[in-house]
Amino acid sequence: MRKLIIAAAIAALPAYAHHGWSEYDQGKPLTLTGKVTESGYEHPHGHIRLETPGKTWLVVLAPPSRMQNRGLPREDIRIGSTVTVVAYANREKAEEARAERITANGKTVELR
């Protein structure tokens, strides 16, 4: 029985480590426009580093498969491109936000 409990706890670790929306202040949406200085189209979530006037943000995006399926290929968030995101700031990490939608290369894509 003890081994079963330990195995269940270990199996649950990835789900526990995977953050959700509760870390982000959904009551205060931000609209951020800037230049992409870093871009990661990777699992479990893509990300961009977005240079805006006065602050550089780490913006957490959706999983690559969702972005691709909704019409946001890797090329649209390449370094040097200008994008706009509607996002929610992380409650603990002042430079991090999670994107609800992104406008890149002339099109708006819902990420959530």
For residue 54, is it within any domain? yes
DSSP state at residue 23: G
Q: Structurally, how many domains does the chain consist of?
A: 1
Q: pTM of whole model > 0.85?
A: no
For residue 9, is it within any domain? no
- The range of the structural domain enclosing residue 50 comes to 21-110
Tens digits of pLDDT across the chain (112 residues): 555 454 444 444 444 444 577 999 999 999 999 999 999 999 999 999 999 999 999 999 999 999 999 999 999 999 999 999 999 999 999 999 999 999 999 999 999 8
The C-alpha angle 89, 90, 94, rounded to 5 degrees, equals 85
